[in-house]
Amino acid sequence: MAFTPAVLSRRRLLQLGVGAGAGLLAACRSAAGPELLLAEADLPAAWLKQLPAPWRTRQVADAAAVQKAVRELGQRPAPGLVALSDGWASGLSRQQLQPFEAPRLWARLAAFSAPVARLYAPPAAGQLAFPWAYSPWVIALRSRPDLAARRQEGWQLLLDPSLRGRLVLPSSPRISLEIMGGDFERLERLRAQALAYDDRDGLNLLLSGDAEAAVLPLQRLIPLLRRDQRLAVIWPDSGAPLSWQLLLRSAAPKNLQPAPPPLEWLGAILEPPLLEALLAKGWVPPLPQAVLAPVARRFPASMAALLLPGDGLLQRCWSLPPLSVPQQLAQQNLWDAAAPRP
């Protein structure tokens, strides 16, 4: 029996045309240029707007989704740049990243950023990350001028009896352990004070009046200080743990040439006019204090003191390298033992 070709309707032809067009558009988009992968609000909008063509952005739900995408590189083209905090970046293997070779960029940064740029590996390992901003964990107080006047007490303020059930601590137990110096008795007293362990919504608890004190990253507080006179921020003189914001280069498949990083765009964050806009939002690049000073001093004195803390205080602060398994177990045991008893 002779084969009779099917007659395509006009609607079907249009559907095929749309499908082919969509496929072509998707192909064009995938070839449009290298990709910057990030979670929402992980990069300042003013900086992101200046990302040069043909670079483009792809936003995912959160840092966990960013990390997962880097680990599953075989499933889609590798992003040219990835935005993560140092805590999330430390969860990636060095094989999932490629060197970030930008010596002129690194020469502009302060020395205390160097270990972070290596993801805490020995100096010979080379740089794998661009540490574009840091933030200390600080004490935020709401409507407590009596405690703010005792700022010289530093982290000990958190143990004041008046804060029992009125204190928000970070979600990560490690931060609480660090600010109490790993001391069991102080940690036990600190845990008895806690209203919640929630740095994501801790600021909301503070602003609503449910809490009177919180341990939060400074970056989230700087934009509020000009418009909320109830808030006071204490960066303890003894120092504070630092969190870092990084850009990394994910490893590209062997048969593809990786896109070079947009060095001019990366460097723009380190100088005016963009630098001032970023400082106003609390993002502080790890520049030498002498370089930051002319810009930071344009802000009110209380803000300038936080944006420009001085080399002495910065030297007493510390970053948080990844822990070994025994160290993790030891911290977990200490944390569990210090839990409030019913």
| Within-domain flag for 125 | yes
Would you say residue 244 has pLDDT above 60? yes
Same domain, 93 and 168: no
Shared domain check, 253 and 128: yes
Range of weakest confidence among 112-121, 255-264, 326-335: 255-264
Residues 228 and 296 in one domain: no
Kind and range of the H or E run holding 225: helix 218-225
Q: How much of the chain is helix, strand and coil, in % rounded to 5?
A: 45, 15, 40
Of the residues 217, 241, 265, which one is the last residue of a structural domain?
A: 241
Spatial separation of the C-alpha atoms in residues 286 and 270, rounded to whole Å: 9
Supply the DSSP string of 263-305, one letter for each residue.
HHHHHHTTSTTHHHHHHHTT-B----HHHHHHHHTTS-HHHHH
* Residue 89 and residue 58 share a domain: yes
C-alpha 267: how far from chain center = 18
Where is the domain boundary, 241, 266, 293?
241
Around 71, how many Cα atoms within 13 Å sit in the side-chain half-sphere? 12
Domain final position from 197, 217, 241: 241
**119 & 249 share domain:** yes
Residue-averaged pLDDT of the chain: 89
Q: How far apart are the first and last CA of the chain?
A: 85
Backbone angles phi, psi at 256, to 5 degrees: -120, 140
For residue 273, is pLDDT > 60?
yes
Residue 29 lies in a domain: no
Taking every pair of C-alpha atoms in the chain, what is the biggest distance, in angstroms? 98
User: What total number of domains does the chain contain?
Assistant: 2
pLDDT in tens, 219-233: 999 999 989 999 999
Least confident of 75-84, 120-129, 262-271, 330-339: 75-84
| Mean pLDDT in residue range 148-169 | 98
The β-bridge relationship of strands 242-250 and 129-142 is: antiparallel
pLDDT in tens, 108-133: 999 999 999 999 999 888 899 999 99
Does residue 218 surpass a pLDDT of 70?
Answer: yes
C-alpha pair distances (Å), 46 with each of 59, 246, 276, 278: 16, 17, 11, 8
Residues 234 and 252 in one domain: no
**pLDDT tens across 100-109, in order?**
888 999 999 9
Of the pLDDT bands very low, low, confident and very high (cuts 50, 70, 90), residue 255 is: low
pLDDT one-digit tens code per residue, 64-81: 999 998 888 765 678 899
- % of the chain residues with pLDDT over 90: 77
CATH number of the domain where residue 49 is located: 3.40.190.10
Q: How far apart are CA 87 and CA 321, in angstroms?
A: 8
329 is a domain residue: no
pLDDT score of 2 more than 50: no
Query: Do both 116 and 259 map to the same domain?
Result: yes
In a domain, 115, yes or no: yes
Task: Quote the pLDDT of residue 137.
Answer: 98
On whether both 62 and 199 belong to a single domain, the answer is: no
- How is residue 16 written in tokens? 């095929």
**Paired residues of 247 in beta bridges:** 83, 130
- Do 110 and 259 fall into the same domain? yes
Q: What gap in Å lies between CA 85 and CA 15, rounded to an integer?
A: 44
CA dihedral 268, 272, 277, 278 (to 10 degrees): 50
Q: In terms of domains, do 65 and 183 share one?
A: no
The domain in which residue 211 lies consists of 135-241
Give the Cα separation of 254 and 95 in Å (integer). Answer: 12
Contact between 68 and 59 (Cβ < 8 Å): no
